[in-house]
Structure 1
Amino acid sequence: MKQKILKRLSIGVLAAFCTVSCFSITTVKASSLMEKVEERTDEETDATSATDTSSPRTRANHLNFGTVQINKLANNQCNVLGVVQAFHDCDKLYLDMSLEQKSGGSYSSYKVWNFTGLNTSLLSKSINVLVPKNHYYRLKGYHAAQDGGTKESTTTLTKGVWIGD
């Protein structure tokens, strides 16, 4: 009786030992699972911020320049900044910013803001934005100054900045 019990027990222990030794246990770091999903191209940068500044293509009487900037603040947060600078107080300044997210190899609009300033020569906005991490983000800007019947404009586009681990 004791031999039958010992035999069954030893067979059970041997089976458990074989099962555990047959399956290899692999330790996986969470950071290795969160590798960059998107490949970096010439449209992106390794830096944690990107800026673009533009002036009108023709000689301007009203609009001096427009600037946009994106800064990585955390693994899921960025700051976007847009500026419109005129040579003098204008009837109206326009600042449109579009935060774009890269997914599947191409960029698409993630969030859009539209601002106007009346009877001023400077319009600037800075916004902190929570975003899904592990994507490239870039900022597109439209900058315009209108005075009387004349409207002058320019566009800007930063390189993509990695927001994630």
Structure 2
Amino acid sequence: MKQLQLDLNKRLLIVEYETEAECAVEWALMHAFKNPNIVKHGHKVNPICGGSELTEDIAEDISDYTNLFNKKCFADYKCDRYSLSTSAMQSFISAIEAAGYHWGENPVKEPRMSDYGWYASGHAEEDSGWMYEEGEDKYYESLKLFEESESRTFNPEKCIIFEIL
């Protein structure tokens, strides 16, 4: 389980559960007891929405903005400014990225062994191997980068976004 605290227009706690099923059960339990002041993860919280249910309207309520020419300008947290071209959803995602995390898709692609010189000939494991030693080293370096990035990527289907009260 990973979690991230953000201070935007509201104080948020984003929690990713291990599975979508665990997330669904947690969401159902919170609503079954109709308790808006739940203590979770060391904070008194109010659930806002599931990560996959996040809409532009919800993001507008939780993201920082200022008014410019009677239009809402949302914060872009990666470059620390407000912009007319930034949507509320982009603002929310930029806050996550500014904290060193990712929302949705891991930006680092999973490496394939064949791209680094792995060959397989025949059906026996002993008939397979690396064409050159550097390929194996580079593959495992790339795999480590991918896994580190994956550990910092939130899957919206497994997340619940809370307001910290």
Q: TM-score, normalised by structure 1?
A: 0.22
Larger radius of gyration, structure 1 or 2?
1
Structure number with higher strand proportion: 1
Q: Flag the structure with higher helix content.
A: 2
With structure 2 as the length reference, what TM-score do the two structures score? 0.22
